[in-house]
A = this chain, B = another copy of it.
Amino acid sequence: MPSLRRVVLERLMRYYRFLSESGAKKPPQTITSAQIAEALDIDPTQVRKDFSTIGLLGIGRVGFEVCEVCRAIRFTLGFDQRHEAVLVGTGHLGSALLAYSGFARYGLHIVAAFDKDPRRVGTKVAGCTVKSMRSLKPFVRRHGVRLAILTTPVDVSQKLADRLVSAGVKAIWNFTPTRVTAPPEVLVRDEHISLGLSEIAYHLTHETEHPSTPHVRAS
């Protein structure tokens, strides 16, 4: 299989969540590309193309077996492997991510948390004892941790990223607003959960000014 582009990986994730997070007592055993396309607002041809890329061909009008699709996506994206991560920065967002138990189904396990604030070091956040920054590099090295989640203040993020990379980290999930650079073999994924809030707060604040037209234009 050739290396897959980010947009393809993201669509595979959307299919996976859609097929695996049904709240129905008896979820359907088969599904068509048209049904998936409709629910996720993706072209049906695109759905079939993505599925064929990961070896799924489907049967005429019956469509695809939900279990088989989920298994193929899990295999492709590596959700059945164990990905250990360190979390750096235990502020509001860091603490929420530590407490979030939904990552395990994607193979992600946060095994240690670090903070530079001496008042936080030694305390427990979501059952995890916060360690001092001094122990970050030795910990990552000793345990062969390959992923770091950055939820630190902006001015230390690059320095930390450099330290993590030199300790052997292969991917950085960057929740800070600053750009973080790393060598090409290290993946840096920026996450901007608060961006949505800019649109929402703006819409709610100005909504009454033009009640008849939507205030936020799609970009």
- Chain A contacts to B: CB under 8 angstroms: 3-7, 9-10, 12-14, 17-18, 21-24, 39-41, 76-79, 81, 83, 91-93, 95-97, 99-103, 106-108, 146-147, 152-156, 170-171, 173, 176-179, 184-185, 187, 189, 191-207, 210-219
Contacts and interface: CB of A to CB of B under 8 A. Distances in A.
Contacts of A202: 4, 9, 76-78
A116 to B, nearest CB: 8
A141 B10 CA distance: 37
A213 B2 CA distance: 13
B22 A198 contact: no
Contacts of A206: 3, 78
B198 A185 contact: no
A6 B216 contact: yes
B100 A205 contact: no
Contact of A215 (B3, B40, B214): B3
5 contacts: A6-B216, A9-B199, A17-B154, A146-B207, A187-B215
B185 A211 contact: yes
A213 B183 CA distance: 10
Tallying the copies of this chain within the complex gives 2
B154 A201 contact: no
Contacts of A218: 5-6
A103 B93 CA distance: 10
Nearest to A185: B214
Contact of A14 (B21, B23, B177, B215): B177
Nearest to A215: B3
Given A6-B216, A22-B154, A154-B17, A201 B99 contact: no
A131 to B, nearest CB: 18
Contact of A18 (B9, B41, B154, B199): B154
